[in-house]
Amino acid sequence: MPQGLVALSKFQAGLETVRGTAVAATRIQPINGYLVENAQRSIIHEQRNSFIDNFRNFQTKRFVELRGLNTSPTYEDLPWFLQSFLKGGVTGVLSASTVYTYAFAPTAAADDLKTVTWEVGDDTQAFQVPFGIGDNISLEFVADGPAKMTVDYLGQKAVKQAFTGALSDRVTEDINGSVMTATIDSTTIGTTSVTNVLGAKWSLANNWVQLWRLDGGIVPGDAYRKVRSAMLELTVQFNNTTEYDAFITAPVERKVRLSVLGSVIPGSTGNIQKSLIIDWYGLWDSAPLSDSNGIHTVKLTGTSMYDVTATADWKMTVANGLVTLP
């Protein structure tokens, strides 16, 4: 008898060709989290010669949330997620014989983000959730621990359906955030290495709004985005005043590059390593002093701003050995 066991729950997913048109899952997607289906109903209040309040009701609205999904990001899976959060339709550019680089930069005047059909469930019931839109993503790194990724999706509805079968696990490599390196510059990004960064968090909110229309149904028929910017938080050891001064006395644009290297990509010319590179351009909004295990730290928080040279306010690239992202 099914027992609704967490141990037997799973997530599967596929990128939609047409937004809102469900597709069969193409991959098992190891991640932690839950499906929450929201339903709103209208209760009609009337004078009925009765102390009983509620006699009639009907449902007016439904939608799904997949919030707080979390995992340790990998070089192979991260580009798949980024299609729904940063830029859709990105393909790997081949170099060094076997290296494929997936480059993500914001599209300013078009909404090209991919939507997802999720399959979520356990041994009791599986559900299909189409029109999954990537609302929030954060990548977090610490000097002495694993990288963490948290994502939020909104979905149209949950339909009872069996999982797509015959999907296999993929071979992936975790992004080891504890070996991250950082550069911080005011002119050319990637020039000045710094060694006092203790932790970093990059996050992006796409500010999706689901849209209900008089189209004969009670689920959202469409969705649209508002403007967006990337937030960066750096916790740095206060062993110099460079970044504190960049906030207080000489506020200038900061060009931050965070890089994490993995294993060598098999067959690559020159033994090229897998990599994640995050570029961020902006100003520090706050820089409070604090302490951590007996040392003073500064927690720098900033909002991305458009950089003329980069023609963007942030960029992200992932290099691996995958020809495609299934």
Residue 285: predicted pLDDT? 96
Closest CA to 80 of 33, 11, 146, 180: 11
Q: Which two tokens stand for residue 4?
A: 């609704």
> Looking at the domain assignment, is residue 223 inside a domain?
yes
Give the C-alpha separation, 147 to 142, whole Å.
7
Supply the pLDDT for residue 39: 95
* Containing structural domain, residue 151: 6-39+64-320
Asked if residue 56 is part of any domain, the answer here is no
Q: What is the pLDDT along the chain (326 residues), one digit of tens a residue?
A: 789 999 999 999 999 999 999 999 999 999 999 999 999 999 999 999 999 999 999 999 999 999 999 999 999 999 999 999 999 999 999 999 999 999 999 999 999 999 999 999 999 999 999 999 999 999 999 998 889 999 999 999 999 999 999 999 999 999 999 999 999 999 999 999 999 999 999 999 999 999 999 999 999 999 999 999 999 999 999 999 999 999 998 788 999 999 999 999 999 999 999 999 999 999 999 999 999 999 999 999 999 999 999 999 999 999 999 999 87
Q: Are the C-beta atoms of residues 175 and 273 closer than 8 Å to each other?
A: no
User: What is the reported pLDDT for 250?
Assistant: 78
Q: What is residue 195's predicted lDDT score, i.e. its pLDDT? A: 96
The closest alpha carbon to 25, from 205, 204, 202, 165, belongs to: 165
Structure tokens at 186: 């005011």
Which residue type occupies 20? Answer: G
Dmax over Cα atoms in the chain, in whole Å?
85
For residue 198, give the nearest of 318, 282, 293, 78 by alpha carbon. 293
- DSSP assignment, residue 307? B
Domain count for the chain, please give it: 1
Residue 209 lies in a domain: yes
Decide: 175 and 261 in contact? Cβ < 8 Å: no
In a domain, 152, yes or no: yes
Q: What angle do CA 151, 317, 77 make, to 5 degrees?
A: 45
Residue 49 lies in a domain: no
Distance from C-alpha of 239 to C-alpha of 196, rounded to nearest angstrom: 8
In a domain, 326, yes or no: no
Distance CA 192, CA 240 (A): 14
Locate tokens 């927690």: which residue? 299
Q: What is the DSSP string of 101-161?
A: EEEE---SS---PPPEEEEEE-SS-EEEEEEEEEEEEEEEEETTS--EEEEEEEES--EE-
Chain-centre distance of CA 236, in angstroms?
A: 24
- Closest C-alpha to 157, from 123, 134, 132: 132
Taking the C-alpha atoms of residue 126 and residue 66, their distance in angstroms, rounded to an integer, is: 14
∠ CA 137-138-144, nearest 5°, is: 155
CA distances from 128 to 21, 133, 172 (A): 11, 14, 25
45 domain-assigned:
no
Question: Contact at 8 Å (CB) between 208 and 154?
Answer: yes
305 in any annotated domain: yes
